[in-house]
Structure 1
């Protein structure tokens, strides 16, 4: 786990993360549309409000990056310092220059998704070669862009598994139209992967293969991890989970929520025994991963901030009216 350098063990780090999320749950532990319903403005410390009232656009943009001036309230500085200390330190790697791929024209796929496909393919190649793997199983392959890239650039045999039958048909149509040379080495299987899919994957007959997945949403990433541990012929796993929050709810009662596959970590489970995580690690917490990055705020002008604020508050007013009947 990529814990910050200031921590020497994951148990202490997880404890501090839970403590932080518990202490500041008033910031996030509700739907964004409920800021009036839950009276969030009344929970903001008064010294923060006084400080924010003097802000200009550049000040708000800097705040999103964790930057405040010397006149900031001590409690706000402490909040930002704790937040910065808890941020994992990631090593950013550039895409190899030899990685390129011609995506079909007139296909709705964004720049971000293209970048992710290119990056993941290079990691799959590096790890597969290290493990002397010759074939790849792509779980949740969608329309097949990753399988074709892996085959075309790195010459692996690929089987794409997809739970949406319509996407499987489209993937096969795109293959005939754009990648006819790959028919011998790229194939598709319509199957919705669950914890009971072990025999299905074993019966594919792959030997010494890699399991990969891009945007493995909801519980799929966890399901893949559990299946990987049971398949002896699967030699490596390269997965890029999705940030979306659609985990299966295990139980819900009076605003308390628990999830079928969260937490997974044994250490986090033990640490969580000291907290009532069902009160603050709920769906609003899971949605934090799908929020815009801090970087997206730094270039906003006054008009953009104004539009964003009004959109948020107008929706909150409608929600307040709905709650009041």
Structure 2
């Protein structure tokens, strides 16, 4: 994103960030499911919570700034925060693609296509290469709203086939201008992309785009943009930082990227702090105000109670499905949550893979463990959630500024992060925009 106003150079900013991460690692440097195992809530040094209703919507941590712990944290955090970039709505245009997708997705497609059209006009380019094109909704909107050619690259066979089918059924007029190719984008895709462009459009110059370019796909796009002479612009929305490829040593292949941060990463032993939990928090939705704190606290502590139970018995807790417990099935009642979790959401295994039988949940012990949580535990959990919400934007800026610095180190100075969608509708609202 950008360098905070309180810092004069990247070196100073990165060093101050790293020192902050070391001091406050208890707020992020582990999975949130482990907060009871790590005794995290006891490390949040706040007194005077007894008369305060932290679950009330009007509660704010600002009321506790006389507290030494929070005063120190916020003083340092404020120096690392950047001015919030405002989203500018467009009420004069409309989404031209009819598709069975959520309002969130429609919002993202409309504004990203609009930004792509604007950038392509600036760099005098009429062809776009879409990385991770999915079912082709964005590609059809780009063509319909901007009359640009689109080369849509998608690695998933089902999505690729679905995009072709939708085009035949609903978008016959785009068949000469929107071309779908089944291809897995990597840093080494430049020869293939050049061949596809020449074959499909007889085009050379092009721009790269991507909606929710997950994990390393944004980095692949950056490398290809940097190395391909005919790539004129890049407009891509990154997400899922925590899914980036890891090295055998436990670091990440593509983080840090910039030379400046790589040096400091070694000096400050960044491998201890810049791990999956750090990246996961950076990718977390930034607005907790849209959800009730009471629900967030219950969800956090209920899941952590299961994790503690498994840990104390040297067991591993595993999910049966991605959404192990549907929140609306529990209604903040731990007994209902536990029944749903034990029957449908989770199962237990032995850490040593022994054949001593399949472990089962002792529901009476789990209910007793839940009842042991004091009122103070629930209040500290609310403070923990509020603090993580404040950390999120700082962590994300740290990651994204590293990418900007990498581009500038490699001679691409016309690059920024811009908020192109409403973050209250789409949490990942930032697009990396670069021009040559």
TM-score (norm 1): 0.88
Tell whether 2:86 aligns with 1:86.
no
Aligned to 1:21: 21
Aligned to 2:188: 196
Trace 1:1-325 onto structure 2 (pairs within 5 A).
1-45=1-45, 48=46, 50-57=47-54, 62-63=59-60, 67-69=61-63, 72-105=66-99, 107=100, 109-204=101-196, 205=198, 206-252=203-249, 257-293=250-286, 295-297=287-289, 304-325=292-313
Q: Give, in whole Å, the separation in 2 of the partners of 1:267 and 1:175.
A: 46
After superposition, the C-alpha distances for 1:39-61 in whole angstroms (9 at most, x for unaligned) are: 2123222xx1x233332247675
After superposition, the C-alpha distances for 1:282-308 in whole angstroms (9 at most, x for unaligned) are: 100010123232x332x65xxx43333
Q: Give, in whole Å, the separation in 1 of the partners of 2:86 and 2:169.
A: 36
Q: Give, in whole Å, the separation in 2 of the partners of 1:159 and 1:122.
A: 17
Q: Give, in whole Å, the separation in 2 of the partners of 1:5 and 1:207.
A: 40
SS of the residue corresponding to residue 214 of structure 1 reads: strand
1:228 positional shift:
1.5
Q: Could you tell me which runs of 5 or more consecutive residues in structure 1 were left unpaired when the two chains were aligned.
A: none
Q: Give, in whole Å, the separation in 2 of the partners of 1:73 and 1:311.
A: 27
C-alpha contact 2:96 2:145 (8 A) present in aligned 1: no
SS of the residue corresponding to residue 158 of structure 1 reads: strand
Q: Give, in whole Å, the separation in 2 of the partners of 1:160 and 1:118.
A: 17
C-alpha contact 1:30 1:284 (8 A) present in aligned 2: yes
Q: Give, in whole Å, the separation in 2 of the partners of 1:86 and 1:155.
A: 42
Instruction: Rate the CA distance shift 1:276–1:51 in 2: closer, same or farther, 3 A.
Output: farther
Q: Could you tell me which runs of 5 or more consecutive residues in structure 2 were left unpaired when the two chains were aligned.
A: 314-436
Q: Give, in whole Å, the separation in 1 of the partners of 2:190 and 2:53.
A: 57
Instruction: Rate the CA distance shift 1:307–1:128 in 2: closer, same or farther, 3 A.
Output: closer
SS of the residue corresponding to residue 207 of structure 2 reads: strand
C-alpha contact 1:51 1:73 (8 A) present in aligned 2: no
Q: Give, in whole Å, the separation in 1 of the partners of 2:89 and 2:162.
A: 28
SS of the residue corresponding to residue 161 of structure 1 reads: strand
Q: Give, in whole Å, the separation in 1 of the partners of 2:103 and 2:258.
A: 33
Instruction: Rate the CA distance shift 1:61–1:117 in 2: closer, same or farther, 3 A.
Output: farther
Between 1:270-279 and 1:19-28, the stretch displaced more is 270-279
- Total equivalences in the alignment: 308
Instruction: Rate the CA distance shift 1:244–1:54 in 2: closer, same or farther, 3 A.
Output: farther
Q: Give, in whole Å, the separation in 2 of the partners of 1:273 and 1:89.
A: 29
TM-score (norm 2): 0.67
1:70 positional shift:
6.1
Q: Give, in whole Å, the separation in 1 of the partners of 2:55 and 2:44.
A: 21
Q: Give, in whole Å, the separation in 1 of the partners of 2:231 and 2:173.
A: 26
Q: Give, in whole Å, the separation in 1 of the partners of 2:105 and 2:49.
A: 36
Instruction: Rate the CA distance shift 1:68–1:17 in 2: closer, same or farther, 3 A.
Output: same
Q: Give, in whole Å, the separation in 2 of the partners of 1:227 and 1:145.
A: 24
